[in-house]
Each structure stands twice: as C-alpha cells, then as structure tokens.
Amino acid sequence: MKHTTILAIAACCSLTLISCQEKSAPEASEAEAEMTESSVEMVILKSSPENAKSIAEARTSPTPGESITIMGKVIGSKTPFVEGRAMVLLGDPEKLISCDLNPSDSCHTPWDVCCDDHDDIKNFTATIQVLDENGKLLKQGLKGVHGIKELSHLVITGTVAEGSNADNLLINATGIYVQP
C-alpha cells in the first residue's frame, strides 16, 4: 500500500511539473514575439533620409558591406512580401510601371508589373530584409507595419548584403521610411 501511495504522489508531482513547464513555454514564445515585433518597429523612420538613389542606380555597382540609401515602390512580384519574415521586394518606379498606373489594365494584382519585360523586372528590383542583432532574418512580416503594403513607396537605409552583385541586389535594412 505504501508503495502504491508513493507512486501516486510521484505521478501527481510529475504531472504538476509537466503542466508548469507547459505554461512557461507559451510565455517565452509570447516574449519572443514581442521582441521580434519591437525589432521590426525599431527600423521604422519618422523622416525620410536624404540622398536616396534609385534602384537602377544602386544596382550598377553594389559593394557588399557598403552603406546605401535607396527609394522604391513595393512592386515586382505577385507576392512581394515574404509571409512571416521581414523581407520585401522593392521595384524602381522610374523603370517599372505598376499596372495601377495603366488605365486600360484590369490586373487584379497591379503591383506584379506583369506588363513590363521580365528582364526589366529582374534588373530594376531589390530585395530588402531586416535582420536581428545576430544577423538572422526577423520572423515577422513587414506587410502592415506602419501601413506598408503593395504599391507603398519606401526609402530604405542599410548595407548591401554579402552576395549582392549587379544581377541581385540584397539590402540589410537598418531604416525604413514609409512615404505618405
């Protein structure tokens, strides 16, 4: 009988410890979500940086590690945002025409610039990403942050990421200004 009682008490203690551990795990993930959210918010700028280059100009000779400021429009793909990640495709509105500016176009996704040449889309877009303090892509989407959406005009400050070249411009954003 004593052996059964000891086993019952041990089982209850184990269940209590397990349930306590289960409760603490969601709290940790909520804290991580808040930290991630505030991290994305921290790159939002209240005023527009000066001397922004067009994407076409920035793509001529990107040097990894170089500080850069560019301006562009959220265009260039049917899905310019990466869901659940701080990454967006930005296009050069001086070189690419979004379908919302073409009155005869009835495109359902005017930000995909489907009427432009595919080479132009490739040559006049840049991928923007926001990294955490460890250099990892933040696990929060940019869509909706301070009103960022398809067709938004943005000014980005940051550094040209490793692996960038004239065919692929990737920018690690340290500042994002959403033009009104």
Q: Over the stretch 98-116, which tens digit does the pLDDT of each residue have?
A: 988 987 777 889 999 988 8
Q: Which domains does the chain have, with CATH numbers?
A: 53-178 (2.40.50.140)
53 versus 26: the higher-pLDDT residue is: 53
Which is more confidently placed, 151 or 22? 151
The residue with tokens 């959220």 is 74
Which pLDDT score, from 0 to 100, does residue 17 have? Answer: 38
pLDDT at residue 6 above 60?
A: no
pLDDT value at position 39?
Answer: 79
pLDDT at 167 > cutoff 50: yes
Q: Give the residue among 10, 29, 8 at the shortest CA–CA distance from 18.
A: 10
Q: Say whether pLDDT at 136 is over 70.
A: yes
Cβ atoms within 10 A of the Cβ of 85, count?
15
CB atoms within 10 A of CB 149: 15
Q: Where do the DSSP E strands lie in 66-178?
A: 67-73, 87-91, 125-129, 153-160, 170-178
Alpha-carbon span 2 to 44, nearest angstrom: 65
In this predicted structure, the answer to whether residue 7 has a pLDDT above a threshold of 80 is no
Distance CA(25)–CA(76), nearest Å, equals 39
Percent of the chain residues past pLDDT 90, beyond the cut:
66
Q: 23: pLDDT confidence band, cut at 50, 70 and 90?
A: very low
Give the pLDDT score at 106.
Answer: 76
Instruction: Measure CA of the first residue to CA of the last residue in the chain; give whole Å.
Output: 76
pTM of this structure: 0.78
Q: To 10 degrees, the CA torsion angle through 48, 50, 51, 56?
A: -10
pLDDT at 15 over 80: no
Mean pLDDT for the chain overall? 83
pLDDT digits (tens, 9 = 90+) for 27-70: 434 434 444 445 789 999 999 999 999 999 999 989 999 999 99
Which regions of the chain does DSSP assign to beta strands (E)?
A: 53-54, 67-73, 87-91, 125-129, 153-160, 170-178
